Amino acid sequence: MKCTSKYILFSIGILFILTLTGCGTSGYRMPYDYKTKLSAFTFNTLSSEDTAVPFAGDLCVAGDENTQGGPDMSMATSAGLFDVGSCGTIYAKNLHKQMYPASLTKTMTALLALKYGHPEDTITASANVYISEPGAQLIGLKEGDKLTLDQALHALLMYSGNDASIAIAEYISGSVDEFCNLMNREAAELGATNTHFANPHGLSDDSHYTTAYDLYLIFNEAMKYDKFKEIIGMTEYTTTYSDRDGKAKELTIKNSNLYLTGDFSAPSNVNIIGGKTGTTKMAGSCLVLLSNDQKGNPYISIILKAQDRDSLYNEMSRLLEQVP
């Protein structure tokens, strides 16, 4: 009797909500809020024309482990293989383990640049583009240099230029701190709630972390932009920008993805479209890829913290062999 009463009260509440939103509308709009306790599933169990679309209705969903029948992947700390078309998770290892993402961070930086910026806009580099950390990948931007957002995105995604990420962050949000706030808000809205960004480039920071699954969510969102897919698939890029005095500076870069440069061969069952590399001492060797099977169906594969570059690509090839 108590359960029946609760159901009646709940039903009345739902009918009240629907009354407020209006009958006969084309659809019930319910924006995703990761803090809410009310799920779309609750609405869909009711007999109503107005239903909320489940947040993960078009996403791959997985637990932390799904390795049965898959490769050993002992040289990778975390890994995932996602069938984008069927929303299936083929392989998962430590999928929700929080880890350093290295330059896979730049996937989010690029996503926000494409969402809120304009490729033809001119960016003026500030003194903040100078990064002194040993081993930091730089294209050599100086204070006062001028380049377009499109040029900066090529440097960001192909060459993994950390100075380009600073320039993009300040262009979008006015400061790196504000851009990081934006990164975290956008990540939460995508459902990447095990993520916290402290910078736009991925150089190691104790408060900068994510998971393989969260990176899948971010990379999957970035794939909605044709410009993103175009850049990550390029092997080489040459452009000219200007210094503070208007003098031309030529930039020629190659993609850091060794599948695209031919240094490593992908399994015969897939075609590598592109991706993003990342390497730091703390994060190890990392890679996220977009690949197609022989029928053109897309897959996203991710490896975090392989021991070294060779291990990373060997493990990634083993992972891609699981594509049907």
Residue 12 carries which side chain, given as an amino acid letter? I
What average pLDDT does the structure give for the chain?
88
CA distance 279 to 258: 13
Of residues 93, 106, 276, 305, which has the active-site annotation?
106
pLDDT of 26 > 50? The answer is no
Answer yes or no: 160 catalytic: yes
Q: What is the DSSP letter of 217?
A: H
Sign of CA dihedral 117, 185, 227, 151: positive
| Active-site residue, 265 included | no
Statement: residue 45 has pLDDT above 80: no
Instruction: Give the CA distances from residue 215 to residues 31, 43, 202, 210, 252, in Å, rounded to whole numbers and listed in that order.
Output: 21, 29, 13, 7, 28
Q: Which listed residue (35, 47, 86, 103) is catalytic?
A: 103
More confident residue, 209 or 7: 209
**Order of strands across the sheet that contains 122-124:** 122-124, 146-148, 236-242, 248-254
Q: Does the pLDDT at position 175 exceed 90?
A: yes
Q: What is the pLDDT of residue 48?
A: 46
Please state, in angstroms and as integers, the Cα–Cα distance from residue 85 to each residue in 31, 230, 299, following that order: 23, 20, 8
Q: How many Cβ atoms from other residues are within 10 Å of residue 35's Cβ?
A: 6
* SS3 assignment, position 273: strand
Is pLDDT at 3 greater than 50 in this prediction? no
Res 6 pLDDT > 90: no
CB atoms under 10 Å from CB of 243, counted, come to 15
Statement: residue 154 has pLDDT above 80 = yes
- The answer to whether 305 touches 77, Cβ cutoff 8 Å, is yes
Q: What is the largest CA-CA distance in the chain?
A: 81
CB 32 within 8 A of CB 56: no
Please say if the pLDDT value at position 14 is more than 60.
no
Sign of the dihedral through C-alpha 59, 74, 136, 160? negative
Confidence of residue 53 (pLDDT cuts 50, 70, 90): low
Q: Is residue 106 flagged as an active site residue?
A: yes
CB atoms within 10 A of CB 28: 17
Instruction: Using alpha carbons only, give the angle 294, 263, 237 rounded to the nearest 5 degrees.
Output: 90
**What pLDDT was estimated at residue 36?**
56
Kindly report, residue by residue over 55-104, the tens digit of the pLDDT: 567 898 877 777 777 888 999 999 999 999 999 999 999 999 999 999 99
Nearest to 86 by CA among 297, 289, 294: 297
15-19, 70-74, 199-203, 317-321, range with the lowest pLDDT: 15-19
pLDDT at 285 over 70: yes
pTM of structure: 0.83
pLDDT band at 7 (very low <50, low <70, confident <90, very high): very low
CA–CA separation, 154 and 110 (whole Å): 10
Q: Look at residue 98 in the predicted model and tell me its pLDDT.
A: 98
Q: Output the six-digit token pair for 81.
A: 């293989």
14-28, 77-91, 188-202 — which is least confidently predicted? 14-28
Cβ contacts of residue 281 below 8 Å, gap of 6+? 135, 204
Residue 55: per-residue pLDDT? 59
Q: How confident is the model at residue 156 (pLDDT cuts 50, 70, 90)?
A: very high
Q: Could you tell me whether strands 270-280 and 298-306 are parallel, antiparallel, or unpaired per DSSP bridges?
A: unpaired
Q: Are 122 and 146 in contact (CB under 8 A)?
A: yes
Is 255 a residue whose pLDDT tops 70?
yes
Average pLDDT in the 292-312 region?
97
Binned at pLDDT 50, 70 and 90, residue 50 comes out as: low
Q: Name the residue with higher pLDDT: 211 or 26.
A: 211
pLDDT in tens, 204-231: 899 999 999 999 999 999 999 999 999 9
Q: Give yes or no for a contact between 300 and 213, defined as CB atoms under 8 angstroms apart.
A: no
pLDDT band at 273 (very low <50, low <70, confident <90, very high): very high
Residue 47 has pLDDT above 70, yes or no: no
User: Which helix (H) or strand (E) element contains residue 280?
Assistant: strand 270-280
